[in-house]
Chain A
Amino acid sequence: MNFFGKAFLDAFNLIFRFDAELYFVVWTSIKISMTSVFLASILCIPLAVVFSARKFPGKSFLQSLLNTLMAMPTVVVGLFLFGILSRQGPLGGWGLLYTQTAMVMGQFILIFPIILNLAIAAANTADPRIKTTSIALGASKTQQVLLFMKEVRFAMMAAIVAGFGRAIGEVGVAMMLGGNIEGYTRTMTTAIALETSKGEFEFALALGMLLLLVAFLVNSILERFQKLHK
């Protein structure tokens, strides 16, 4: 059997044996990404609704800035936060470097422009009658925003899922801020990088497949939800 075939078999073996080390890494990845996505979403979505509804000076500049930040390289974010959180950095005293918190911070910065930008696009393309209808029905300002968010929830969820996809798949922030510490900050992507360099190709492949599976599951849940409610 060729190298690839054997590697695949071993990888499946690891997955279906429910290898504890493997699944711990998967869980760490999901936990960190979920946390950063959750934090970014609760900020981005109301912000996107307001951003879309209001006219203010500098709006188009902010929009282009957001577009640029969407393509921000993960290593740049990693490097930037590394500088801030390292011992000599301004927040070095907090001792956050090589912790899960630092990883959440990095991923948060990385996906914030993505979720915000896609959520703004969702809000911009929403039916303008949503606003007039809720006003006419006597909704207060807060009620208007809540109704609007409820109405564009599927497009907003797509923005969140895109953010999650970016967070769980990135390696730069996780490596530089987490440090790939076994049993603590090791994620799927950092483990793949490490195991491959160590020559443990099967383990890396198993992780790669699980990473795809997680992304696939998240997307199919979203799709299922959209179909159910349309």
Chain B
Amino acid sequence: MNLYSLHNLGYQYEGRKILDIEHFTFDEGQTLALVGPNGAGKSTLLNLLAFLTRPSRGEIVFMGQTATDRNRAQLRRRVGYVQQNPYLFNSTVLENVELGLKLRHVNRELRRERAMNVVEQLGLEHLAPRRAHELSGGEVQKVALARALVLEPEVLIMDEPFTYLDKRFVQELEQIIVTIRENRAQSILFSSHDQMRARVLADRVCSIINGKLIMESSINLLYGLFRKEDKIFDTGRIRIHTPDDIEECKLIAIEPDQIVLSRQKLDSSMRNSFQGKVKALHMQGKHIEVTVDVGELFHSTITRAAHDELGLTLEDTIWLSFKSSAIKTL
């Protein structure tokens, strides 16, 4: 089912066009990343999707329900929103996590129990009795995430969640997103100006520039085991050579435009070459997205010229190659 579907959505502020989206849909259970430069309209779109602001025109349909002034407050309660640089109220961490439940009149024992569950899941037990204003930036972000998750929202929206975090917290937060994504407990929407991170963490990546959603790309994301001794990433179906400087990873991502397709096995420096069958061909503007099954499904974007030259049709046997340096790890 479509979690969101947007039609002719526009937002203006003081006469200036901030957002202009003709049509867009987003499926339930997916993780979507919005990438784009600062001021592109990412936060505005997330605010609209969290039902915090009213669009200037167009409509947002959430789980089949069109948002109106009458039901916006009620829809808002089905969304978990973590704003950029989140604010914690001047009380304890646990009280902050419980707050949304308290506003929904959940009784004290139940809300304490639910809050403690989430706090434990995110490894924040040691912070629970602390006052929120004593926390570091990374801790604040995690508490804000717990505060949103405890409400068991249908979608979790995070605005630039990585911006104010140091490296350790970035990794922890990435892991949390991956876990939620694997469990498919919630749909996730987040914005980032880091394209690569977005590609690694999300099922779908949309770019937003000058208020327009202009590009989407599928990402090749693979789970597996990393063998440190020979730097091989084993997905169980195929084995991938990784760059030499990698020490540890659970997930790898390869950008579709980094994958080369050929009829014959290439005699080149590319250390990863697999033979497989073409499973799908999608036109995307000037490019064609080719889905190839080599044991794992890979998406590759090639130009139309390259496509014509290869003369690709469904079920064709083809070679797929990429350099180990094209691999991004998590």
The answer for the CA separation of A136 and B131 in the assembled complex, in Å, is 21
A182-230 at interface with B (beta carbon < 8 Å): 229-230
- A138 sits at the interface (CB 8 A): yes
The answer for the CA separation of A129 and B88 in the assembled complex, in Å, is 9
Tell me if B104 and A138 are in contact (CB < 8 A).
yes
A128-155 at interface with B (beta carbon < 8 Å): 129-130, 132-140, 143, 147, 150-151
Tell me if B83 and A137 are in contact (CB < 8 A).
no
The answer for the CA separation of A229 and B90 in the assembled complex, in Å, is 8
When distances are taken between beta carbons in the complex, the residues of chain A under 8 Å from B76 are 135-136, 138
- B23 sits at the interface (CB 8 A): no
Q: Choose among A127, A137, A150 the residue that contacts B100 (Cβ–Cβ < 8 A).
A: A137
The answer for the CA separation of A130 and B52 in the assembled complex, in Å, is 14
B146-181 at interface with A (beta carbon < 8 Å): 147, 151
Name the residue on B nearest A139 (C-beta).
B103
Q: Choose among B77, B87, B104 the residue that contacts A133 (Cβ–Cβ < 8 A).
A: B87
When distances are taken between beta carbons in the complex, the residues of chain A under 8 Å from B86 are 129, 133
Q: Is the interface of B mostly helix, strand, loop or mixed?
A: loop
When distances are taken between beta carbons in the complex, the residues of chain B under 8 Å from A140 are 73, 103
- B184 sits at the interface (CB 8 A): no
Tell me if A129 and B87 are in contact (CB < 8 A).
yes
- B81 sits at the interface (CB 8 A): yes
Task: Say whether, besides A132-B52, A230-B133, A138 and B100 are in contact (CB < 8 Å).
Answer: yes
When distances are taken between beta carbons in the complex, the residues of chain B under 8 Å from A127 are 87
Q: Choose among B52, B147, B151 the residue that contacts A135 (Cβ–Cβ < 8 A).
A: B52
Name the residue on A nearest B147 (C-beta).
A137
When distances are taken between beta carbons in the complex, the residues of chain B under 8 Å from A143 are 103
Task: Say whether, besides A132-B52, A137-B147, A151 and B103 are in contact (CB < 8 Å).
Answer: no
Tell me if B83 and A133 are in contact (CB < 8 A).
yes
B216: shortest Cβ distance to chain A, in Å? Answer: 27
Tell me if B77 and A138 are in contact (CB < 8 A).
yes
Tell me if B90 and A137 are in contact (CB < 8 A).
no
- Beyond the given A130-B89, A134-B103, A140-B103, please list 8 additional residue pairs across the A-B interface where CB-CB is below 8 A: A129-B86, A130-B87, A133-B87, A135-B76, A136-B81, A138-B77, A138-B104, A139-B103
- 20 chain-A/chain-B pairs, Cβ below 8 angstroms: A127-B87, A129-B83, A132-B52, A132-B87, A133-B87, A133-B89, A134-B103, A135-B52, A136-B50, A136-B52, A136-B83, A137-B103, A138-B73, A138-B100, A138-B104, A140-B73, A143-B103, A147-B89, A150-B89, A230-B90
Give the B-binding residues of A (Cβ under 8 A): 127, 129-130, 132-140, 143, 147, 150-151, 229-230
